[in-house]
Amino acid sequence: MRRPVFTTLLIGAAALIGSELHAQQPAPPNLDAIPEKMPFSNPYGTPITAQRANSLIQAAAAEATKKGWPMNIAVVDSGANLVAFLRMDGAQLASISISQHKARVAVKYRRPSKAFEDGIQKAGLNYLLTLDDVIASRGGIPLIEDGKIIGAVGCSGGTGSQDEAICTVGAAVVNK
């Protein structure tokens, strides 16, 4: 006798949870909408110097050291060329190329790499995966001075949120 009641309750709870999850899903974006302004349209500027890139890396590494997070930190110029790189002691080897990839994506697409992560994870914009060189993981931030992109920083070695936190500290050296 109790089994049918339990089964009914279980089915009802599953239906309720399913409907709540469905209700929480954001409406799909309208890909046919035409924005008034071009998004992410900061122009490219004079490339970041090696000296500034290294000071940015030092700020990011100091924060990573303070938190005990060994990171790979890369800085590219406005043409997506590697200017400076640091692999902290103990940082994972796989993250060497990932940090550089995040920096290149941030400068090439003129937006934080988190925009791609959010687009895929939150908005269901799976077409982003078809774009050349995209990495849909936070931790790549453009460096903007006087409204122009002079380069980008990329961090990798921890979780996406850890990478982004360290990257933000480094980017703050340039992005005021």
Q: What is the CA radius of gyration of the chain?
A: 21
Question: Residue 158 CB: number of other CB atoms within 10 A?
Answer: 20
The confidence band for 10, taking pLDDT boundaries of 50, 70 and 90, is low
Q: Which residue has the higher pLDDT, 59 or 19?
A: 59
State pLDDT tens for residues 37-63: 888 889 999 999 999 999 999 999 999
> Structural domain boundaries of the chain?
50-171
Return the pLDDT at 33: 87
**pTM (predicted TM-score):** 0.82
- What sign does the CA torsion over 108, 112, 116, 119 have? negative
- What sign does the CA torsion over 79, 81, 86, 90 have? positive
State pLDDT tens for residues 59-81: 999 999 999 999 999 999 999 99
Question: Helix, strand, or coil here: 167?
Answer: helix
Percentage of the chain beyond pLDDT 90 is: 76
Tell me, which fold does domain 50-171 have in CATH?
Beta-Lactamase (3.30.450)
Beta-ladder partners of 148: 145
Beta-ladder partners of 126: none
